[in-house]
Amino acid sequence: MDEQHLKNRRHLSTEKQNPNSYQIDKKSVEEILITINNEDKTIATTVEKAIPALTQTVNMAVESLRNGHRIFYVGAGTSGRLGVLDSTEMPPTYSAPRDWFQGLIAGGREALIRSIEGAEDNPKDAERDMDEAGVTKGDLVIGIASSSATPYVVGALEYGKSIGTKTAYMICNPKPLKSVDVDALIILDVGPEIITGSTRMKSGTATKMALNMISTTTMIRLGKVYGNLMVDLQVVNNKLVDRGSRIIETITGLTYDESKTMLLKADGSVKTAIVMALKSLNREEAILALEKANGVTRSVIGDVGGL
């Protein structure tokens, strides 16, 4: 990125002073909290404006996963950490294969727990990290950069495009500081931060909301949800055994104890237990029925109890 672009950062919305927080250091604790909260109230409306671009991104994500490819979140600093967070939550929540969603962050794993802000300045590092992760044609690369000018993210998107990936660019400014050829441009224009330039605040919140929307909607479209119940969750602890049993109870009409027993018979798979109960199948038969239905529970059991 050239020197002129770097100078122009002062014109970024996320770098401007917020008039609603002038002299915030003179306010009481309660007044500071109210000021922050008032700004946060605007974020959902901002994300709503991005729904067309988010829709396009979800459609690309579903297509990639259905065709055996993957989704890569790429970011630096807070943006990178949020991408890693969202990708990490997919396997336990939806029993998604661990390689479906992956997060790449400038500076690598150490940057998750320690600030390595200088790592974002080298676009070639993104190319190296993507090669090491095995990014290939058909994957979806979602670059996340509040400033819309992070060299690491821009480099990832440009490299992804060059090798045939689909690309989406999530920014928190009205337009990219540096134009990038992408398939979807997700604009989350949250305006100036309460603390000038602190994009871990409104920008981070908007980014978290948008990533949740992308991954959750993608999982719904791939049959990981029945009604509004996460039937494909991975039972890995006592909390999830309880949740899984209650989901089975709700859908099948079994008692809680019967549902828990069925869950154990299904080797911890909620959707397998549901099919076993409602279709009177053994575990192997239920798994086969779900495989034939591409994992979509509703295609096997139909509509149950208005769900």
pLDDT-derived band at 170 (thresholds 50, 70, 90) equals very high
User: Tokens in use for 241?
Assistant: 């055994």
- DSSP-derived letter for residue 73 is E
Angle, to 10 degrees, between the axis of helix 123-133 and the axis of helix 151-163?
50
Of 221, 252, 279, which one is at a domain's C-terminal end?
221
Is 228 a domain residue?
A: no
Q: pLDDT over 70 for what percent of the chain?
A: 96
Is the model's pLDDT at 115 over the cut of 90? no
* pLDDT for the residue numbered 233: 79
Look up residue 179 and give its DSSP letter.
-
* SS3 at position 234: strand
Active site residue 193: no
Would the pLDDT of 291 be above 60?
yes
pTM exceeds cut of 0.85: yes
What whole-number distance in Å separates Cα of residue 304 and Cα of residue 307?
Answer: 6
- The continuous run of DSSP H or E covering 74 comes out as strand 71-75
Same-domain status, 205 and 243: no
pLDDT digits (tens, 9 = 90+) for 46-66: 999 999 999 999 999 999 999
Catalytic residue, candidates 63, 89, 258, 285: 89
Instruction: Write down the pLDDT at residue 1.
Output: 42
Which pLDDT tens digit goes with each residue over 197-254?
A: 899 999 999 999 999 999 999 999 999 999 999 999 778 889 999 999 999 999 999 9
Residue found under tokens 């979806």: 140
User: Do both 87 and 138 map to the same domain?
Assistant: yes
* Alpha-carbon distances of 231 from 219, 252, 269, 307, rounded to whole Å: 11, 12, 8, 12
Identify the active-site residue in 39, 120, 127, 249.
Answer: 120
Residues 81 and 176 placed together within one structural domain of the fold: yes
143 in the same domain as 116: yes
Q: Is the distance from CB of 87 to CB of 76 less than 8 angstroms?
A: no
- What's the pLDDT at 14? 86
Sign of CA dihedral 144, 149, 152, 153: positive
Grade residue 12 by pLDDT with cuts at 50, 70 and 90. confident
Same domain, residue pair 158 and 40: yes
pLDDT greater at residue 282 or residue 95:
282
Same domain assignment for residues 216 and 244? no
In the chain, the number of structural domains is: 2
Q: Are 83 and 48 members of one domain?
A: yes
- Copy the structure tokens of residue 152: 């690491």
- Our answer to whether residue 89 is catalytic in this structure is yes
Q: Do the domain assignments include residue 232? A: no
In sign, the C-alpha dihedral spanning 14, 17, 20, 24 is positive
Nearest to 247 by CA among 293, 283, 284, 235: 235
Q: What is the mean pLDDT of the chain?
A: 92
Under 8 Å between Cβ of 138 and 64:
yes
Q: d(Cα 133, Cα 110) in Å, to the nearest integer?
A: 16
Average pLDDT over residues 280-305: 94
195 plus 250 within the same structural domain: no
Q: How far apart are CA 173 and CA 240, in angstroms?
A: 39
In order of 9, 11, 242, 251, 275, the CA distances from 237 in angstroms are: 47, 49, 9, 21, 22
Task: Residue 145: count other Cβ atoms within 10 Å of its Cβ.
Answer: 32
135: pLDDT strictly greater than 90: yes
Query: What pLDDT is stored for residue 117 in this prediction?
Result: 63
| Structure tokens that stand for 119 in this block | 């790592």
Domain range holding 90?
3-221
